[in-house]
């Protein structure tokens, strides 16, 4: 089978994953937390939000490892607006993204990406997508294996674009 052509693969290492479970979900509280993070200079590289059957909201953020403690502190400061009923985090993760023009018009890309990761024994901790990219958050120790798995199934015209730990 021919490889599917994509624009490239990006990676970011030195990241941390923060997941907040809020009941009930509060758009005002999420806005307050995001505003506080922005004011404190905490960059959010990836964000996903979902709801479960009990209407709990799960907010997942990826930030620089160096910003995790500050993000946790700001979460505590905004607790009155965003009552967190559970907070978990992973200090050492990487974000691996495939990207390219017209990615939304290539229905095989998500299946290929996650099948390749699964065959390499990698379970993403979080997933996010946009009109032109598909990202998986993986344990930092799996970063290289994830890259190799994706390079095996995708035609990548350029070398992997790295965003190092310190940028």
Which tens digits make up the pLDDT trace of 35-87?
999 999 999 999 998 888 777 788 999 999 999 999 999 988 888 777 778 89
Write the pLDDT tens digit of every residue in 87-135.
999 999 999 999 988 777 888 899 999 999 999 999 999 999 888 899 9
User: How many whole angstroms from its chain centre is CA 164?
Assistant: 16
Q: Which domains does the chain have, with CATH numbers?
A: 4-13+93-163 (3.30.70.260), 15-91 (3.30.2130.10)
Q: How far apart are CA 51 and CA 19, in angstroms?
A: 13
d(CA 9, CA 82): 35
pTM of the predicted model as reported, rounded to 2 decimal places: 0.89
Q: Which residues contact 26 (CB under 8 A, 6 or more apart)?
A: 57, 81, 82, 83
Nearest to 85 by CA among 63, 60, 61, 56: 56
Rounded to 5 degrees, φ, ψ at 86 are: 175, 135
């Amino acid at each position: 089978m021919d490889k599917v052509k994509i624009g490239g693969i990006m990676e970011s290492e030195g990241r941390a994953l923060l997941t907040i479970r809020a009941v009930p979900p509060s758009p005002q509280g999420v806005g307050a937390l995001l505003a506080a993070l922005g004011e404190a200079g905490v960059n959010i590289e990836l964000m996903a939000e979902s709801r479960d059957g009990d209407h709990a909201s799960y907010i997942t953020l990826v930030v620089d490892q160096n910003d995790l403690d500050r993000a946790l502190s700001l979460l505590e400061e905004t607790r009155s607006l965003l009552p967190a009923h559970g907070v978990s985090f992973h200090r050492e993760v990487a974000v691996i993204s495939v990207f390219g023009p017209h990615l939304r018009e290539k229905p095989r890309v998500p299946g290929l990406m996650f099948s390749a990761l699964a065959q390499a024994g990698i379970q993403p901790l979080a997933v996010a997508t946009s009109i032109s990219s598909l990202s998986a958050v993986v344990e930092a120790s799996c970063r290289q294996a994830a890259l190799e798995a994706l390079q095996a199934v995708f035609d990548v015209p350029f070398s992997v674009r790295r965003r190092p730990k310190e940028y």
